[in-house]
Amino acid sequence: MIPMVDLQRQYQALRGEIDAAIAEVLESTRFILGPNVQALESELAEYLGVPYAVTCASGTDALHLALRAADLGPGDEIITTPFTFIATAEAIRYVGAEPVFVDIDPRSFNLDPDAVAAAITPRTRAILPVHLFGQPANMPALTQLAEDHQLLLIEDCAQSFGARVDGIQTGSASAFGCFSFFPSKNLGAYGDGGLITTGYTPAAERLLKLRNHGSKVRYHHDEIGYNSRLDEIQAAILRVKLRHIDRYNAERRRVAARYAQALAGLDLEIPHEDGIGVHVYHQYTVLTDRRDAIMAALQQADIGHAIYYPIPLHRQAAFDDRTRPPPSLPVSESVAGRCLSLPVFPELEDAQIDAIGECIRAALA
Ligand SMILES: *Cc1c(COP(=O)(O)O)cnc(C)c1O
Closest CA to 156 of 176, 140, 181: 176
CA distance 245 to 45: 14
User: What does pLDDT average to in each consecutive run of 10 residues of the chain (365 residues)?
Assistant: 96 97 98 98 98 98 98 98 98 98 98 98 98 98 98 98 97 98 98 98 98 96 97 98 98 98 97 96 98 98 98 96 87 98 98 98 97
Quick one: which H or E segment has residue 82? none
Distance 194 CA to ligand 1 centre (A): 9
pLDDT for the residue numbered 322: 81
With a 6 Å cutoff on the Cβ, whether 228 touches ligand 1 is no
CATH of 7-242, one of 3.40.640.10, 1.20.120.10, 3.40.50.1700, 1.10.10.10: 3.40.640.10
Read off φ and ψ for residue 210, nearest 5 degrees. Answer: -60, -35
Annotation marks residue 216 as catalytic: no
Distance 89 CA to ligand 1 centre (A): 11
Q: Which of 185, 209, 216, 241 is catalytic?
A: 185
Q: What amino acid is encoded at 355 in this protein?
A: A
Does the domain at residues 245-364 carry the CATH identifier 3.90.1150.10?
yes
pLDDT for the residue numbered 324: 83
CA of 58, closest atom in ligand 1? 7
pLDDT for the residue numbered 321: 81
Cβ–Cβ < 8 Å for 2, 355: yes
Domain boundaries, the chain: 7-242, 245-364
Secondary-structure breakdown of the chain: helix, strand, coil percentages, each rounded to the nearest 5: 40, 15, 40
With a 6 Å cutoff on the Cβ, whether 129 touches ligand 1 is no
pLDDT for the residue numbered 7: 96
CA of 88, closest atom in ligand 1? 11
